[in-house]
Structure formats: C-alpha cells, structure tokens
Structure 1
Amino acid sequence: MHYTFSQYYIYVIFVAVMAAFSYLNKLNRTEVFSFFMYAIMLLFAVLRIDTGADYSTYIEMHEEAGKSYFTDLFSFTEPLYFLLLKVLYFFSDDYWLMFAVVAIIIYTILFLAVKKLSIDPALSLLLYIIVAYYFISINQLRQSISLVIFLYSISSIIDKKPGKYYLLNIIGFGFHYSAVMAFLIYPIVNTSFSKKTLTIIFILSIVLSPVIEKLFVTYLGELDTLYTKYFDIEEYMEKNYLALGKVIVPNLILIYSLIKFKSFTRYEYSIFMIYFCSIVYYNIFFGKHIFIRPGMYFEIVTILYIPIFIKKFFDLVTGFIIETLIILYYAFSVTLYGILINGGQGVVPYKLIFSR
C-alpha cells in the first residue's frame, strides 16, 4: 500500500534526527548522544498506538494470556512471552502498558548490547533503524526481544563463555522460536576459516542461488506459500526495495572485506563471521519468505560490523564518505522506499497515544 507524505513524514523526521545525533557523536565522543538516541527510540515506540499490522494481534494475545492460567504456560509456543503478558495483565489489563514495557525491554537490551559491543554505539543505533530493525521491532515484538537478547549474547562468544551464550539464547527462544538459529552460530564463529575458504564459500552461495531457487520452487514453493505469499526473485526485486537494499550493499561490503582480509582480533573475527554467514544465507535463500526471520539472527550483526568495516579498512576522510554513502543507501532504499512509501513492515501511519 502507498501512503501520502503526511502519513509517514514523522518517520522521516525521526530518521533525520537520529542521523544528526549519530554525526554529532563524532564531534564529541561521549555516551551522551547515543543515550539521547536510545531515549528517543524508546519514547517514539512507547507513545505510539494502533501502529503496526500486528498491533491488534498483540492486543488479542495480551487478553488471551490475561484470561489464561499459569498452568497454561507451556501450551503457548513462546512461554516466556506468555509469562510476561500474564504478569503485566496482573497489574493492569491496559494493553498500552504491555506495548510500553516490551519497548523498554527491547531498546534497553539493544542499548546495553551496542554500548558493550560496538566501537561506535551511535552509528550502530542508527543502523538498527535504517536497516529496518527498529521498524520490525514496532511490528514484531516477540522476535525483536529474542533478537536483542542474541545481540547481547555475542559478547559471550567473544569471551568464550558457551554456557552463558546458550543460556541467554534459551531465554530468547522462550520469546520466539526462531532463536533456534542462535544455537548454530557459536560453533561457526569458533571455527577458524582461511581467506581462501571464505571466498570459495561466498562464491558458491552466489553460484548455487539459482539452483536453490529451482529446487525451492519445485519442492518447497507450497510451504512458503503457506507462510506468506511467494514471490519469485524478479518480482521480489521489482516490488520490494527492502530486499534489494539488504542484498546489494552487504555483498559489496563483504567482497571488499574479503579483498582486504587481514588479521582480525577475536572481537573483529567474531562479528565478521556472523556478518559473513548473513550474506551467504541471504544469497542462497533470497526472496524466500519462510527463511527471512531465521536469517535475522545473522543479519542483525550488520549494526556492529559496519563500524568495524569503516574503521579497519579506511582512513578518517574516506571512512566518513563511505559511512555517509552506506547511511544514505539504507535510508532511501530500505527505510524511505521499502518501508514507508511501499508499506513494508506495516508500520504506517503512526498514531500518538494521545489520540486514543
């Protein structure tokens, strides 16, 4: 669905303000601007009402959980989310409280994660928005909780603490079943790959993509249709700039990273490997709706890798230019066109709680 400018201008202003804070942070390397960004993200989400295609669904879930018994906990696919709803309903049956508390959980964990893991927290928060994850978090609450828990758990990969890593992602699994993907990431990151091996895997992901496409259409097309409407690659590329923006630029970034590949610290290698898995995964399964959500556990690390990519491979001036180009590309192709104008993620129009 297409919307008029008056219906989505608030998002444009929101992104512009966040971008301004990200750039101001470069002039004053403190936590002040990244904290302001966190506060604005939180406020923007908390003050919304009836915003998002799944909004009414979450209201129904809230009411269902409130009227259920604690003994019904494990009859729900995501028991921890049910438990959260049950506790909140005990204090108030107002669904706005539920949306507000979930927003606090998502963006607080996100802020703590980027503060701990990112070499440029302000840029990471901006990327979280323009790569679409903020808009996803407005519409897909359960998985967004799971995703930020995974993001926070990456520090346990770097510190080689598998017990803590798996415990955190078991909690994430309790909020959304797609977190099962996180269980695969630890062993991958802890395997050492040479530049040659990574290059071969990357090339194979491109070469095998049309083969996977044919096999998928032949044997699994109906399964994807059950999940959501299936688009072939040509139609998907033509109609969904969100997909286009998430494929072209990341592949170019990975290609350049492989060309310039040199010694990484454990921190850099861990982030790079998850980013590498993201590109390979989406090259193989591009346009297959049923595989999009699981792939988010690889892709979300984009917000951590881009700052590393810019600092590691470019000087100050060139890095500033590259960063600006990346931001503009995501802001226009993904956020402005893919999400706002083209109605991706079903987040528009935005309504304030005061209109309730």
Structure 2
Amino acid sequence: MEIFYITIAITYILAFLGRQSGDVKEYNLKKINPFFFGLVTIIFILVCGLRSNIGDTYFYKHSYDLLVLTGDMIGYEIGFLKLMELLTKVSSDPQILIFTVGFICNLFILLSLKREATYFELSTYLFVTSGYYLVTMNGMRQSMVAGVFFYFGVKFIKEQKMFNYIALVFLLTLFHKSAVFLYPIYFISQEKAFSKRIVLLIGGTVFVTLMFSSLAGAIKEVSGEYGHYIDSFNEGGAHILRAAIDGVPVLLAYMNREKLEKDWKYSNIFINLSTLNFIFMILALQNWIFARVGLYLSISNFILLPYIIKNYFDDGTRKIVYAGCVIFYFLYYYYDQVIMMNVVYRSVILGIY
C-alpha cells in the first residue's frame, strides 16, 4: 500500500500547486496550470499502467497472451478485441494492454476533473481515497469506458448535442456492453435537480431494494450477460458505508439546491449524475453488480463535493469541512483497502514485489 500513500501525497501537493498557479474562470471554477496537471496525470498513469497485479489484471494479461499465441479473439466486445489486436502489432508483452487502458482511463478522468475543477487537489484526492482509482485497475474495460464517457458525454450533454451523445454511447458499447445503460442518462441528467420525477425515481429505487428478492427474476431477464450475478444476490451487496459516502454530496446538494441552481449553470447535470449514482449504490446494497453501473456516474461526486465545500461554507467552516473531508476519506480508504481487502500492489517494472 505504500505506493498508494506516496501517490496520494505527491499528487495532492502537485494538484494543489496547479490550482494555486491557475486562474479563476466562470462559475468559480479554476484553470489548472498545465505543467502541474501533466505531472499529476503522469504519476497516476504510471502507477496504474505499470502494475503487475490487482483485480482482473492477470486475466487480461492471459487473454492478451492467448491472442498473441493463437490469434483467437473471444470473450470481449469487438471494440476491445480490435484494440488488443492492434496492440499485438506493437508488442507481444501484455503490459502494453494494461498501460494503454490505464493511460486512456486516467487521462480522461483527470481531464474531466481539470475542466470542472474548484479544488482540483481535493478532486484528485477523492478520486483515490474513494476507491475509484483502484477500480480502474480492476474493472479495466468499464473504467476506460467511464473515463471517456464522462469527458465527452458530459460535454455533449452541456451542449445539448443528443446525436453526438448517442453516437458516443454506441461506440462505447463496443468496448463494454453495460454502456447501454447510459442512453437515458442524457435526458435524466438535464432534469431539474430534486424534481418530482427524480424523487419518484429515488422512491422507486427504494421499493426495488426492499422487494429485491421478489423482483430478482425479472431483473435477471433484463440484465443480459450480467444476469447470472443476480442468482447470488444473497452473497454480496455493497457495504452500507460505501452507499453513505456516495449520499453525502447528494445531501449537501439538496441543502444548497437553490444556490446551486442560481450560481452554476450546469449544476443539474452533476447533481443528477450524483443522485443516480447514489440510487445505484442503494441497489448495490442488495447486489454489488449495480455498483458497476454507478461507476459511470460517481466521477461527478469528485466535482460536486469540492464545489459545494468551496462555495457554500464561510471561511472558518470551510477549512474545517475541507480538513474533515480529507481525514474521513483517508480513514475510509484505509478501512476499505487495507482492513477489508488487504490490497497489495506489485510491479515488476517498478521493482515492487
């Protein structure tokens, strides 16, 4: 875990310097110094892309080796298979796949945070301590798709370019089929935050959660390739602390909803994405597979929470809330990564065994 602690500390300092040396732009957002942004991005990409283990890394390497040896392309969506095939022409070492996916995923997530930054250093800090950074090393394909989606998808939603958005989601489904769930997000994200429709959606989610056992069969039918996970819903829901953490930005947004609507033109987008993420995390209390859908949306928390802390607390309270956020997220990170999962990072290239 030492490599993660070092990554947290160095990227936080560099991101802070990047914010301090940047200029204010509209809606109290910040332009981040490109030099420091580049350093932060390089560190995240190297740590992610040069790993030798964690999550599904071994299986992706194994699939790549099989492709090199046999030429067989099975098991993944066509877009990802074509990416693998292209990479085999460059190198037979499967590390190139791990690095490429890590590069794409982290670059676009950080570009999204940079574009929407208030406290850029806090956004990058939350990216790691929320556990999302580790997820990019586990659910590789989906995290890559999520990074690309959030950068381009939010842009198209802002500009109300529906056909561009639909084309983007279609392309992303060629890399991970679960991206099909993103089609309705275009319309839901533009709804007024905490409108009656959103409240009904939350209420429906609570109902589904309470009735999950009875509804499991129907959910399995519409879940496609993920349907088999529903059979084991008694064996693995998300931790309630995870859902509670994702609920904090939603609660604070609700408390400041009128100010957010007045001060931030695109507040509805990020509030609704965070709210939808929270909804999926509530469902994930019954089955962790729902958290996979929330993976596309939870990046909004790293934008929304820092914005609220910066703009809706007075100077003295802001410092306390900011410090409390840093401390609490680190404690959660330690609990989740060390106590619960005992994560060990290894990298042959970096000499970490």
TM-score where L is the length of structure 2: 0.82
Report the counterpart of residue 280 of structure 2 in structure 1: 281
Report the counterpart of residue 339 of structure 1 in structure 2: 337
CA pair 122-164 structure 1, distance change in 2 beyond 3 A: farther
CA pair 258-193 structure 1, distance change in 2 beyond 3 A: closer
2:255 to 256, 259, 268: 259
Report the counterpart of residue 46 of structure 1 in structure 2: 49
Residue identity matched to 1:169: V
Residue identity matched to 1:182: L
Whether the aligned pair in 2 keeps the contact of 1:66 and 1:89 (CA below 8 Å) is yes
TM-superposed deviation, 1:87: 0.7
Residue identity matched to 1:171: L
TM-superposed deviation, 1:305: 1.4
Whether the aligned pair in 1 keeps the contact of 2:309 and 2:322 (CA below 8 Å) is yes
**Counterpart Cα distance in 2 of 1:132 and 1:118:** 20
TM-superposed deviation, 1:17: 2.7
**Counterpart Cα distance in 1 of 2:313 and 2:346:** 38
SS in 2 for 1:253: helix
- After superposing the two structures, state which structure 1 stretch, 25-34 or 154-163, moved more: 25-34
TM-superposed deviation, 1:104: 1.7
- Paired positions, count: 335
**Counterpart Cα distance in 2 of 1:326 and 1:68:** 50
TM-superposed deviation, 1:126: 2.1
**Counterpart Cα distance in 2 of 1:215 and 1:196:** 26
Whether the aligned pair in 1 keeps the contact of 2:16 and 2:120 (CA below 8 Å) is no
Match status 1:190 vs 2:190: yes
Residue identity matched to 1:56: Y
TM-superposed deviation, 1:107: 1.8
Report the counterpart of residue 14 of structure 1 in structure 2: 7
Report the counterpart of residue 175 of structure 1 in structure 2: 175
**Counterpart Cα distance in 1 of 2:102 and 2:209:** 39
Give 5+ residue unaligned stretches, structure 2. 23-31
Give 5+ residue unaligned stretches, structure 1. 1-7
CA pair 230-275 structure 1, distance change in 2 beyond 3 A: same
CA pair 354-299 structure 1, distance change in 2 beyond 3 A: closer
Q: How is 1:11-160 mapped onto 2 (pairs within 5 angstroms)? A: 11-25=4-18, 27-29=20-22, 30-31=32-33, 32-49=35-52, 51-67=53-69, 77-152=76-151, 153-160=153-160
CA pair 33-123 structure 1, distance change in 2 beyond 3 A: farther
**Counterpart Cα distance in 2 of 1:189 and 1:145:** 21
**Counterpart Cα distance in 2 of 1:46 and 1:245:** 29
Whether the aligned pair in 1 keeps the contact of 2:17 and 2:36 (CA below 8 Å) is yes
Whether the aligned pair in 2 keeps the contact of 1:142 and 1:175 (CA below 8 Å) is yes
CA pair 116-77 structure 1, distance change in 2 beyond 3 A: same
Report the counterpart of residue 29 of structure 2 in structure 1: none
SS in 2 for 1:304: helix
TM-score where L is the length of structure 1: 0.81
CA pair 93-121 structure 1, distance change in 2 beyond 3 A: same
Greater relative CO (CA pairs within 8 A, separation 6+): 1
Whether the aligned pair in 2 keeps the contact of 1:271 and 1:301 (CA below 8 Å) is yes
TM-superposed deviation, 1:48: 2.2
TM-superposed deviation, 1:205: 4.5
